[in-house]
Amino acid sequence: MEEMIFALEAVLPFVFMLACGYFLKRRGILTENFRQQGDALCFRFLFPVLVFQNIYTAEMPETSIWRPIWFAIGVMVSSLLIFWLAVPRLEKDHRKIPV
C-alpha cells in the first residue's frame, strides 16, 4: 500500500496540471500560443524536475529495494498496454496519437 501512495504522490500533481490546463482551454482563457509554450515548459522542464524531486526525497524501505522497483515496472508496463490499445480507438486524428 505504501508503494501505491508513493506512486499517487508522484503522479497526481501532473494529472492536476493537465486537468487545470484542459479546463482553462475549454473556458477560452488560454490561447493556442500559450498552450504550446506551456506544454514545452511542463514536459521539458517542470515534469522531470518533479519526478526527480519525488524520487530524491522518497523514503525507501531498507529491507527490500526490489519490491517498489518491480511495482513501478508493472505499473508502467500495464499503463503502456492499456493506452496502446485504447488511444487509437479514442483519437481519430493519427497525428495526435503520440501526444
Assess whether 22 and 51 both reside in one domain.
Answer: yes
Is the backbone of residue 31 left (phi > 0), alpha (psi -120 to 50) or beta?
beta
Residue 43 C-alpha cell reads as 514536459
Query: Domain count of the chain?
Result: 2
**What is the extent of the structural domain holding 97?**
62-99
pLDDT at 61: 66
Say yes or no: 54 and 72 in one domain: no
Q: Note whether 90 and 78 are same-domain residues.
A: yes
pLDDT classification of 88: cutoffs 50, 70, 90: confident
CA distance 38 to 30: 10
Q: How far is CA 59 from CA 47, 63, 92, in A?
A: 20, 12, 42
Contact in structure between 58 and 6 (CB atoms under 8 Å) = yes
Same domain, 74 and 46: no
- Confidence bin at 97 (pLDDT 50/70/90): confident
Cell numbers of 5, please? Answer: 501512495
Put simply, whether the predicted model's pTM sits higher than 0.95 gets the answer no
- How much is the pLDDT for 77? 95
Do 1 and 35 belong to one domain?
Answer: yes
- Do residues 53 and 93 share a domain? no
pLDDT at residue 4 in the model: 86
pLDDT digits (tens, 9 = 90+) for 26-77: 888 888 888 788 888 988 899 899 989 988 887 766 667 778 788 989 999 9
